[in-house]
Structure 1
Amino acid sequence: MAVGVLPGQVSGWPPKFDLDSDTESTSPSLYTPPSPLHSVNGPSSFCRPFFWEIIPLCDLYSIAHIILLPSSLRLSYSPLPQRNGASSANRQRPHSEAQSRFIDALTNIGLGPCNWKTAGVSVFTAILPSTDGYVSRADFLRLRLQDSPFAISKIQECVDPLKKYTACRLSSASANSEDGLAALIEQAAGVIQWADLEASVSILDLQRYLLGLTHELRDRLNNAPWLTPHPIARKRVALIRGRPNLTAGGPVYRAAKALGLDLVIIDDEGHWLQADTDDNRMHREGFLATDMAEDSGTVDRIIASITRYPLPIHGVFTLSDNFFVTTARVAQALHLPTNPISAFETSVDKYRSRLLQDAPGQTARVSSVDELNTLLLSSHFTPTFPLIVKPTKGWSSECVSKVSSPSDLALAVAKATARHGSAAVIEPFFDGPEIDANFVLLDGEVLFFEVADEPPCQGDRRDASVDDTFSPEALTLPSALPAGEQAVVRETLRELLVQVGFCTGVFHVEARVVNTGCEYREVTEGVVDLVARMPRDPDVGGDNSKAACKLIEINARPPGYRVSVPSRHTYGVDFFAAHMLAAVGDVERLRLAARSFDHACEGRTRGAQYWSRLVYVPAPKEGVVKWNSGLSPCEALKRRRPDLKDKIVVAVDYCVPGERIALYTDGARTYVAHLLVCSRASRREAIEAGEEVLRAFSIDVEGDNEGRVV
């Protein structure tokens, strides 16, 4: 380890040590009672680095760890030679009279002495890209360091999006002074201030801590360029249909700002982002009020709004399923990047997308119960129960029914055709674990792929009725499916996407895996997980077919804002950023945005920093929400259960006091919150934590009955 020591430093720092030696119990402490040398001038805020190292982290980055002593060990005099002919008598002046370029450099980026504890060991890491380049994303470091196992006090990113960064050329030798370290801080692309260590930390523990930091940073930065070698043109992208609120739209708006994309919102008059306020200008550049009624003139009205905008728009995108085709038509008419209109037309029609894997007589489409009765009298459809009935146009598992007997078929069709005024598709029920498969594609090449497991929901039960829903209850990452089966999922679904016509963008695909070697089973009391299937009795026989992937639906967009959360946190991939970059045709940055972490751990998919469990909290009953404690339900949970707080990565409440909620919304379960929990120990621990969070969550709802713990 390269060690730097400043002249005039406390004698013996840093001491020599050997990581392989068994000296932990007798390792010296960083804190010793103040000696006359330490207290000659009394306590002082003037601080000298006593230890640093510059490490080539990987091909892309070097890092510099810098450690500052506790205030009781910080020298109150300047040990550096004075410049410009200053006399040596000035070298012992208190900080109030002396100046430190190094401390000024930290202060200038918001990490100065006011952020340090008086009795702690302060640790800073400067991130130094190895080559010159243009900044692909301003908050790149925050994204890559989210949920670090090492506590962080503050991250300061010192670069702006699209701007050129010139690599730091300093060596360990040239940094061997306060001026040199100041120059290093000033040239860093970002600086991390880690949570202060106790002054009593041993030298050996400090060494191990720094090694841990280095390994963790390598896993997070190793394959992820912050810079692109080519200048990045500033572009403008239009979001067709702004999000309904800041909770749902925040990840989109923040990503656009970090990428240096100017965001324009196209939506109806009266949308919450329309008003030209300071708050709204933080989220978007402009707002184009447009009649968004879904009729034959929608495309023309949107094109007219874009044409009237005084600045060029380089791409359009949407996150609203019912505007996919409209957005593609707008893009094609304006010669902007898009996938074929026909691809979107197939993806939004669940009957057409089901036919991609259909066998004769398995799938049908009807517009009414009368049409169903006519179909059943023909020889073209031979239903095999159980079946799935759902609207051909719909989302969020709305009005999706499992039908186990002919007597319930008409009821399911009536429910499906009543939603969105669309026909109903009748298709086989595939018995196997349901998964979410997320892709980032570029010209058909898979840049990123992940599988998430959806545990069984109401509709998966063998005795499920038409009234039971397929609303998701949780999501677990990474998948427990064997690597071979995940490869089958990847290839099957990628081929279907390309077959439909999708080549570039972000795609959220729902599917089931049949003939899998896994099954959901109770592994501990109250905990169900996807595990290896119990060995079959050879005398009984069984299906020895190979595992296969059966498509449920294609969503030509990122997962919804809450389902994108576990991917962003587990893998470090921001689907909303990738979606917008694809929309403006920024191929180079699209590749960069699709780089996952580089963590490798037995039992986890490479790139996942931990196991995570997304928990959806359903409404316990109908009524009016109250915050009787004065805190939101998620905040109240963390205060009430500090043992769970450290496992909760994200917690989002959906309801506010006085809001009326129902058990079901548009035929799907109503949720009041979602929480993401994680474990670096095991998948089972993540699932157990999620179940405990669900049991402990409480929301006050005034209705016919008393509110209860969900």
Structure 2
Amino acid sequence: MALNNVPVEATWTWSLDKLPEGTGTVVVNIYPDSSFENSIECSSEGCDPSVAMQFLLDHVPEGNNLVKLLLSVKSGYIIQSDFLDRRMVDCLNVTKVQGFVAPGQHIEGCTAEAYQSMSFSGLLEYCYGAIVIRDDSSVSVAARSTAINDELGKRLSYPWLSLSLIPRKRLALVGAGSLLKVHGFLVAAASLNIALVVFDNAGHWLSDEIYRNFREEFVPLDMTVNAEITQRIALAVTEYQSTNTKEQHLDGILSVEEHLHTIIAHAATKLGFNTSPPESVGLAQNKYATRQLDKNIFCRLVSCPADLEAVLSEEGSKLLYPLIVKPSKGWSSEGVWKVADQKELHEKVTSLWRESFTAWHGHDVVIETYIDGPEVDANMVLVDGKVVFFEVNDDFPSAGDYDSNERGARVANFVETSNMLPSALPSSELKSLQKRLHELALAAGFRNAVLHIEAKLRNSSCYYAKDSDGDRLVELQFRMPPTTTTQPKDVFLLEINPRAPGWQEIEATAHTYGVSYYSIALLNALGDKQRIAFLSVPFVGGPQYHMQLLFVSAQKGGVYKYGDICKTVLESDSQGSSQSENLSDHVVKSANLMEDGEKVLDPGTGQIQQLQKKLDSMP
């Protein structure tokens, strides 16, 4: 008879390693051989019932395998229950990670010396997690153990324990969107001991009982965006508070819907919840108002044909092309155009006054100078006005960055093509970016916030070059000689978004740096500054690798009929490859955003919201 495939009698040996002080951790190594002094005997009768021992039974060391149990040398409250999974993400040669703690749980720690004197069963009582190391006969167990200890030192050297009690909190999630968009927030909330009460249209997918585990309660709310929506949201939350006990009261409010952010900020102010100033959020969502923070280029606002004619009459002969045309309250690069002359200017501005555009973005249209130079996405976390986390990603050229005769007018929009992190720009330019963008964020009124900022660099030492064949492949390269004159004044702000980046970039940052904007955004809505600062600490030494986000967009309109194209490509590559590695081995995550039979708008329209509205209505 065997227990979980373990013989009735099993013997393992173990040793103890101290990790760097910042990890707050001691490691117990469980070996499959008898080369160490301490031994463990386990049988199907009388075996320790703890989750740690069950993990050992399920992943019994055999062959050249190794299991590491993690023990705390400090006492405190768990800040985020799945922190071990989050920080060990994509760690080479780790095949299994499991934490043994609950949200907000208090754990006791002992000194390394105290652990050294304990019996093995005594050690198990202090185990907060465990990992399994890949079996590799080409490398000794000792060498693999040392390498993983080094990784643990880089990944766990941050405050994952709090000295203060972490009580359960509740957030109102108003406008939950699609599962793809909100799933990361739902998972993070559970791990942070945060309950979510969802307010959305009756019939929203989260109202279904099969999604009960994702939220504490669902409250039907008319989400029609009109003059009454702020008051409607505030009233619904107030009524919820009045019908529940004090222990069930809400502690904050947030939304994952970008068009609701200013509305939510006003509602939060009415309700006394933590929020950035509504004026700051509103300014950030208004590209023309944002431009007034840094008036260093030509910029005009037009709201009707008469306004456009006035600009052409007053400035026509002095306009320096190319220019950028975009909705003042747009998002997702919808309706952004680069125009080469007055004819294109008139054509593209007029196209933004179609009802299909104004219904989402209003009538205000910005006309401004097109700035050449490398574009970046910069993500910033502020606590009391100080930057606690900042990272820059390289945003590769869109079709619209090329001349129309080079790329074709039909696809010359600014839908993203590729994004790579961390940025390959030199450190001096990254410092200029942080300094100037921090100044502009403070000028906009933000002090506690997660901000997604888009900018360009003038006078950069780098530029995007095509490959030798002149096709679409580009790479960020240094000019020769590799010098730069970029100063903070050369940072050109494109827009400030008072939110975390899109889910693709959130996932990429979490994998690359070990920092989750899902978690930070939730805590920001609660005003939990301590946990924000703690969870904003990246891996020691910076990013663990380079990550690329690749966006595959339609080049023409029509009807989609390719099924799950991502799955198809990855599976066909795997089946057709004769090599030991294939494309799927290097893809962290993929998502197909269209379904067969769906109408795809031609890129020449500049519209993408049809797809977005569909996504937000589906699980």
Common fold, TM-score beyond 0.5? yes
Task: Indicate which of 475, 488, 501 corresponds to 1:529.
Answer: 475
CA contact (8 A) 1:558 1:576 kept: yes
CA contact (8 A) 1:443 1:504 kept: yes
| Richer in helix (by share) | 2
Letter aligned with residue 189 of structure 1: Y
The equivalences for 1:10-159 within 5 A come to 44=7, 46-69=9-32, 95=43, 99-101=46-48, 104-105=49-50, 110-116=54-60, 119-152=62-95, 154-159=96-101
Deviation at 1:95, TM superposition (A): 3.8
**Corresponding residue number in structure 2 for 1:393:** 329
Deviation at 1:517, TM superposition (A): 0.9
**Corresponding residue number in structure 1 for 2:231:** 300
Letter aligned with residue 410 of structure 1: H
TM-score, structure 1 normalization? 0.77
Check 1:173–1:227 CA distance in 2 against 1; reply closer, same or farther (3 A cut). closer
CA contact (8 A) 2:94 2:131 kept: no
CA contact (8 A) 1:391 1:422 kept: yes
Letter aligned with residue 451 of structure 1: V
1:520 to 2:433 alignment: no
Deviation at 1:488, TM superposition (A): 0.9
Report the Cα distance in structure 1 between the residues aligned to 2:94 and 2:595, rounded to whole angstroms.
31
CA contact (8 A) 2:560 2:594 kept: no
Letter aligned with residue 588 of structure 2: V
Deviation at 1:261, TM superposition (A): 0.5
Letter aligned with residue 336 of structure 2: V
Cα deviation per residue 1:176-197 (whole Å; 9 max; x = unaligned)?
Answer: 6xxx2232233112111233x2
Greater Cα offset, 138-147 or 636-645: 636-645
**Corresponding residue number in structure 2 for 1:87:** none
Deviation at 1:463, TM superposition (A): 3.9
Report the Cα distance in structure 1 between the residues aligned to 2:169 and 2:576, rounded to whole angstroms.
47
The equivalences for 1:141-220 within 5 A come to 141-152=84-95, 154-169=96-111, 171=113, 174=116, 180-195=119-134, 197-198=135-136, 200=137, 205-220=140-155
1:616 to 2:551 alignment: yes
Deviation at 1:173, TM superposition (A): 6.8
Task: Indicate which of 516, 521, 533 corresponds to 1:579.
Answer: 521
**Corresponding residue number in structure 1 for 2:196:** 263
Task: Indicate which of 451, 464, 468 corresponds to 1:507.
Answer: 451
Report the Cα distance in structure 1 between the residues aligned to 2:594 and 2:337, rounded to whole angstroms.
27
Check 1:260–1:636 CA distance in 2 against 1; reply closer, same or farther (3 A cut). farther
Give the aligned CA root-mean-square deviation in angstroms. Answer: 3.1
> When the two structures are aligned, how many residues end up with a matched partner?
585
Task: Indicate which of 343, 353, 372 corresponds to 2:308.
Answer: 372
Check 1:168–1:544 CA distance in 2 against 1; reply closer, same or farther (3 A cut). closer
CA contact (8 A) 2:432 2:487 kept: no
Cα deviation per residue 1:484-539 (whole Å; 9 max; x = unaligned)?
Answer: 11111111111111111111110000111111111112467664211211349xxx
1:564 to 2:530 alignment: no
Check 1:629–1:116 CA distance in 2 against 1; reply closer, same or farther (3 A cut). farther
Report the Cα distance in structure 2 between the residues aligned to 1:646 and 1:372, rounded to whole angstroms.
52
CA contact (8 A) 1:385 1:404 kept: yes
Letter aligned with residue 655 of structure 1: M
CA contact (8 A) 1:618 1:671 kept: no
Deviation at 1:355, TM superposition (A): 1.8
3-state SS in 1 of match to 2:590: strand
Report the Cα distance in structure 2 between the residues aligned to 1:668 and 1:457, rounded to whole angstroms.
15
Deviation at 1:375, TM superposition (A): 2.1
Report the Cα distance in structure 1 between the residues aligned to 2:28 and 2:149, rounded to whole angstroms.
9
Letter aligned with residue 183 of structure 1: G
Deviation at 1:291, TM superposition (A): 1.1
Cα deviation per residue 1:296-353 (whole Å; 9 max; x = unaligned)?
Answer: 1101111111112123111111222211111111111111111111101211111111
Report the Cα distance in structure 2 between the residues aligned to 1:543 and 1:53, rounded to whole angstroms.
50
CA contact (8 A) 2:51 2:100 kept: no
Letter aligned with residue 19 of structure 2: P
Cα deviation per residue 1:666-705 (whole Å; 9 max; x = unaligned)?
Answer: 7257999xxxxxxxxxxxxxxxxxxxxxxxxxxxxxxxxx
State the structure with more CA Rg: 1
Report the Cα distance in structure 2 between the residues aligned to 1:375 and 1:330, rounded to whole angstroms.
37
Deviation at 1:212, TM superposition (A): 0.5
3-state SS in 2 of match to 1:650: coil
3-state SS in 2 of match to 1:507: strand
3-state SS in 1 of match to 2:531: helix
Cα deviation per residue 1:184-223 (whole Å; 9 max; x = unaligned)?
Answer: 233112111233x25x556xx222111100111111112x
Cα deviation per residue 1:278-298 (whole Å; 9 max; x = unaligned)?
Answer: x31211111221111111110
CA contact (8 A) 2:18 2:112 kept: no
Check 1:460–1:182 CA distance in 2 against 1; reply closer, same or farther (3 A cut). same
1:413 to 2:349 alignment: yes
CA contact (8 A) 2:559 2:597 kept: no
Report the Cα distance in structure 2 between the residues aligned to 1:613 and 1:212, rounded to whole angstroms.
26
Report the Cα distance in structure 1 between the residues aligned to 2:307 and 2:275, rounded to whole angstroms.
37
1:238 to 2:172 alignment: yes
Task: Indicate which of 457, 471, 490 corresponds to 2:434.
Answer: 490
Task: Indicate which of 272, 294, 300 corresponds to 1:335.
Answer: 272
Check 1:671–1:574 CA distance in 2 against 1; reply closer, same or farther (3 A cut). farther
Instruction: State the identity %.
Output: 29
Letter aligned with residue 357 of structure 1: D
The equivalences for 1:583-622 within 5 A come to 583-599=525-541, 607-619=542-554, 622=558
**Corresponding residue number in structure 1 for 2:616:** none
3-state SS in 1 of match to 2:547: strand
Report the Cα distance in structure 1 between the residues aligned to 2:387 and 2:327, rounded to whole angstroms.
30
CA contact (8 A) 1:48 1:74 kept: no
Letter aligned with residue 479 of structure 2: R
1:323 to 2:264 alignment: no
**Corresponding residue number in structure 2 for 1:3:** none
Report the Cα distance in structure 2 between the residues aligned to 1:268 and 1:136, rounded to whole angstroms.
33
3-state SS in 2 of match to 1:356: coil
Report the Cα distance in structure 1 between the residues aligned to 2:121 and 2:350, rounded to whole angstroms.
71
Report the Cα distance in structure 2 between the residues aligned to 1:469 and 1:366, rounded to whole angstroms.
20
The equivalences for 1:648-687 within 5 A come to 648-657=587-596, 659-664=598-603, 667-668=606-607
**Corresponding residue number in structure 1 for 2:365:** 424
Task: Indicate which of 190, 194, 205 corresponds to 1:272.
Answer: 205
Deviation at 1:159, TM superposition (A): 1.1
**Corresponding residue number in structure 1 for 2:3:** none
Report the Cα distance in structure 2 between the residues aligned to 1:261 and 1:303, rounded to whole angstroms.
20
TM-score, structure 2 normalization? 0.87
Deviation at 1:626, TM superposition (A): 4.0
Task: Indicate which of 464, 470, 478 corresponds to 2:414.
Answer: 470
Letter aligned with residue 154 of structure 2: D
Report the Cα distance in structure 2 between the residues aligned to 1:596 and 1:671, rounded to whole angstroms.
37
Task: Indicate which of 551, 561, 582 corresponds to 1:643.
Answer: 582
Letter aligned with residue 249 of structure 2: P
Deviation at 1:100, TM superposition (A): 4.1
Task: Indicate which of 484, 497, 501 corresponds to 1:555.
Answer: 497
3-state SS in 2 of match to 1:378: helix
Letter aligned with residue 477 of structure 2: V
Letter aligned with residue 271 of structure 1: H
Report the Cα distance in structure 1 between the residues aligned to 2:195 and 2:484, rounded to whole angstroms.
55
Letter aligned with residue 326 of structure 1: I
1:436 to 2:436 alignment: no
